Structure 1
């Protein structure tokens, strides 16, 4: 008598995260069950490390199995008349999936189905109902486990305890003590970001220096952003992108050592918040929404220089200058593009001399700003309003607890106060971040900036992105006026910096 051809299905829970050995053990049991019943396994379907309880998880082999069952054959034409599994919770944990499976396997008469305990008749309504009931119970158990895990995470976070998982970069395996090599790198990256350096530039430097992630991978701007944007580096914790706060409304401080101050982390966070919804160029500039420009500027003043040549009507050309090279000139040249691309094509200037003059002008501005800066930043002007809103909410809660305020009045008033407090708290964080950036600027040693400005980056010089940030903060643009026909001696008086106010 010919053996009935069936398929074996195996799945290991994504929450358990076991390896392939567990899956092969399931297939082995399935083959033994099939042989005991006189069936023959002709194909094995495997969904390893994929949850059957989450609606957004697609189990590719499960879907392929349903298609084969409905067709009665595999893609290569091999006949299929049934399925064997270890247990029904390996097959489906959602009633909808079990219904689709039951519909596919009973699409034709004579199909067979079995688990480790023996064969089951899915054409019997009672058997199908029990299978659906089992899927419902399984789903309820999964939800209870998920709720317990969420409560456990919340409790640990409120107690300031570290979480498991991959070792965070910057800490030793105990997740509490700072790593003496990695922690300074994270701290310097934060300070560089506040100073205007781009994620791309820092990640590239780490790659050149051979720095690896805690998993041993090369750094990318995305992985670096995850690290420096994590409040863990300042001793705080977040769940679902919200800071974990205590009863007093302040962030809970973790038991691990912090790498940077909360003010420094908030300064970095404010930088990233300002970039949301925009394309970020490799040098850190915020581009247009969904704009795509993968080029990193190779020259200091790209985008800052404007053509000052007069048009026939007396107005300036004002076209952004581009960079070109000439065979008889070692240095790069800033030129106004031709008329076909919107320029006048009638102005060019030696690039290294322009870069040198504007660099000196920007450094002089930095030295002037350092002399005029104040060491003590001003206080947040809305602190009294914030404290008053918190006090009113506390009083309202006390009165409601004592029964002196109705439910309608309490919940309507409390909701408005909570919105006001949340808005003011965000403003306070942005203000603190702004002060941190100002403090970083005012405490910057301009003499050290000047020393590193003209050094090559591989010899400790400032990265181009950092220098361009200083230029951007000092200048709106630089207008270059024509020097006449032919090659004239470089004249800095023909360069007009347009300074920013303040």
Structure 2
């Protein structure tokens, strides 16, 4: 028979679990954080103008090369305080880093379990974004200070300064990885989840089909070789597009059709004028018909103009992407990949196949849009 103390402990544990479930549910629904306000906001939903301005200036300066240490020094001289700053003190360096990395700035919701907070203290909020099954972040219900692109750009710059190796900082999930939301299991069709796999001191990205996500659980693959292969194929296609747009003289079938439509409208207008001259159309009927044809002609001519310029624009864009690809962030690369690629189907390698060392391109199939 349990003692009163044991019952109280069990009751407290149950209550803690219920609170944790409720807090996570609210976070997943995008509801604002409860409790003490965050730096940049005067309450749970509304921006604090002075702090928001400081954050905007800091972001702009950091992108231009200013160090976070310098931002901290400037804020110290301005006697900036965060809601958590002890009385008589100014904001600390770690707090500056934290508020600049806060996903809340662009509306993204994060959630750090209480046991993690108790064990680790302040953690990187970027690592605790709440995401839907398709890899997109949950958006909260409050005013924002940055746009998602502005925040992602800032995080990429901050991460790049502290990471000299290939890929992302270990544990970082900002903007997800290159093929998140694009790579799928060829066996069951489930989107592959991504994460960092660590063995000894070497960490690298891995993609896997998880049963927890509704998948078959039979696929796990090292990410960098797949990403390198897909990038190589994509850039090859873009180079061909650029060369084709520059050299081909073959007209777009849709453009040819539009030009024929313009000629037909001109013929219809001439016929309407003749019918009016023969008194087979009343003045009102003639006016309505001419107006209809002229409106249609204007619309089609705009389409002809757009289609005539499209190959040049497409070729120019493709050439620019190839030229600047090495300087693209993960987000920029993913955006371009998603314009051309429907999905990257990754086939299981068979028992022991994923550990054989050599990359096998025949296990990767790119489905183009």
Normalised to the residue count of structure 1, the TM-score between the two structures is 0.33
Higher relative contact order (CA 8 A, sep 6+): 2
- Over alpha carbons, which structure has the higher Rg? 1
Larger helix percent? 2
